[in-house]
Structure 1
Amino acid sequence: MSHADYLTPDLITRALTLRDLTDPAQGPHAIQVLLDDIVGALSAEWRSTVRYVRDSPIVPVRENYDRLGYEPGDVTRARRYTRYISSTVMLRSHTSAQLPTALERYGERTNVDELIVAPGLVYRRDAVDRSHAGEPHQVDLWRIRSAPDTDDRDMLDMIARLVETVLPGAEWKVTDVEHPYTVGGRQIDVLHGGEWLELAECGRIHPHVLRGSGLDPERWSGLALGMGLERALMLRKGISDIRYLRAADPRIASQMLTLDPWQHVSPLPLARRDISIVVAEEEDEETLGDRVRVALGDDADVAESLDVLSRTAHDELPAAARIRLGIEAGQVNLLVRILLRPIDRTLTSEQANALHNRIYAAVHVGPVMELI
């Protein structure tokens, strides 16, 4: 990777100063209430001790990928998905990055049955819509035992307790899934509003992760579960827009302190802007979403969604269109619809046009600019 692939100091500072809604030291939030309920339910079920881990979100690439068993060529390591600070350091892409080091402290202990709770922000490149954020909150819940016999029955018991705590009475199912750091991986889906939605993923801790942390798999075993906290809270409260979780509007912010059902707040007027842009053919809604968030900075919450309506390759365009757009081989023409709607203030037409221009300039790579 070149230096252009690394985060700038400004972007690093912005990431590190973003409020972590899981941290009581940064103010109360319903995410903390839900997490406390989950931790209380699991630790009571297992009669286990509890240990919280809150490390810096700046982690060595080795901790985020290598120690968890990701292969060097795994697509998840690509710059398009990972926020690299240098070739060896990154902003963590999952809270699981904290666990290999956390496990190292158990090597000399006996009679261990402990729930390790590792919550916090993670950093990704994701689509702009009502259910995704570029810096979501996640929690890893790992049960570590000084016994080798943790099995699938224990895992299913954990899943049942988790679902009952997050969504009391909800129907759930599991499907097989592979993780490099678990054995017998499962995806947990819950039936909500007539459709199946993913809640979390889990599995038994992989022996190579235990060995890498100095624990003999013949003597140690455990469970590893990772869950997105925004999704869990939105399902629990019936929230339709992820941006509400950080809103300053008192009508909204006051509802983000408890697990009480969401009370509807009338949305503000919507501004729609359609743009025709030229981008590299490997761009998708996730990488475009990341560019938009970076370009808008503190105004990123104004973007409600970004949808690619059509995608036309260079060779599929008429010659006149190629000339008009200035498109080259290896590029595509996208028609993108942007919905702009602040959740706590009114947006004027002039402000919407200015935001359109910032977004357009950030994502369009063609030589012909069509600004408002």
Structure 2
Amino acid sequence: MKHAYPGIVPLHKLRAFEAVAQHGNVHRAAQVIHLSQPAVSRAVQQLEDTLGTALFERTTKGMTLTEAGELVWRRAQRALRELQLAESEIRSSADGSRGVVRSGRLGEVITERMLCALVAIARHGGESAAAAMVRVTQPALNRTLRQLEELAAVALFVRSGRGTRLTDAGETLLRHAKLALAEIRVAGEELASMRGRLNGQLVIGALPLSSGYLVPGAVDRTLRAHPDLSISIIDGTYATLSYGLRCAEVNVIVGALRADDQEPYARHEPLFTDSLNVVVRAHHPVLRRGTLTSLRELCDEPWVLPLAGTPSRGAFERAFRAEGVEPPQVAVQANSPSIVRALLLSSDRMALLSTRQVQQELQQGILRVVPVPVSVPHTQRRIGLAYLRDSEPSPAMTAFLVALRQTAAAA
């Protein structure tokens, strides 16, 4: 199968490699994973050929990992552990609905074909499009999905006239499958980095404040130093980006941080504390009033409010309530920086924003800050980055994090 992850190595080779790395010789490894010694030796040699580097130093006393081998072993352990965690979570939630999942079976037998078929069907929701994605016939894809479901011993898919969707168990397996595939991909990137070439892929989730200057500045620094990297920047609500983070579709989120106890799976690193100001278009009528004494004077003005549930919305509401008044009624809500700017520039609406979000517009004189006292303690937000707590950053992500910290420090 020519699958959607062309850089992935076969899982049976990774299992053979991991067993030899753990036990130090082919004989013991073959006993543990129930293969012949020639099969284990062949799998390890093929893996070395595929990766283009020696993973072991072979001596009469056994096999010792090389520097490259240590690197691959660490990523292989993490990838295989994700598959074991998937099985454990599925088994604990199956509640005996279709019998007991055979312990260790899923993690030990699942193949890269199955993982890629799972990712494809989840992405497209139809077997025809999924088969095209992984470059197999639809009957072949269907067989692979049924084999995967039999191996899991629980229902992973719900098929209907509208297509195929994943069950809760299927979603659990999908999340861990993506994490496992990401670990395998990063192993290749780390090997390339060892050879002096930093390449690879990085997906950055940019929240409203960071998309204006922080992320673009850090990306520019990163690519100047490492032009072979491929970086994608996506925006969206925190909930969307957070889901992507948990599935390894997003490597890091940059913007206003949420409370630590709301995200036990994420590690937070604050970069700075930001506060908000009232921003309007140049020549807005409110600017003719001169210096205002309180936000109370702006309660009846038309506003663009941040989306409910965001740190910006919380800061907006706290700022007005600190003045002893209720926040203005919701008329327009938006989180997209470009939409907020367009609404401000084309109307007499106002918004409570960080000046960092509209730095260029303020410098150009097309937006202005309204001279009104805003209770700074009530509008402060932690701006920083979030990434998976149990993850180990790739070389590409490490380079970006260095650039991001430098950009934040220079702001």
- Settle same-fold status: TM greater than 0.5: no
TM-score interval, normalised by the smaller of the two chains: under 0.3
Q: Which has the higher helix share?
A: 2
Q: How high is the TM-score relative to the length of structure 2? A: 0.23
Q: Which has the higher strand share?
A: 1
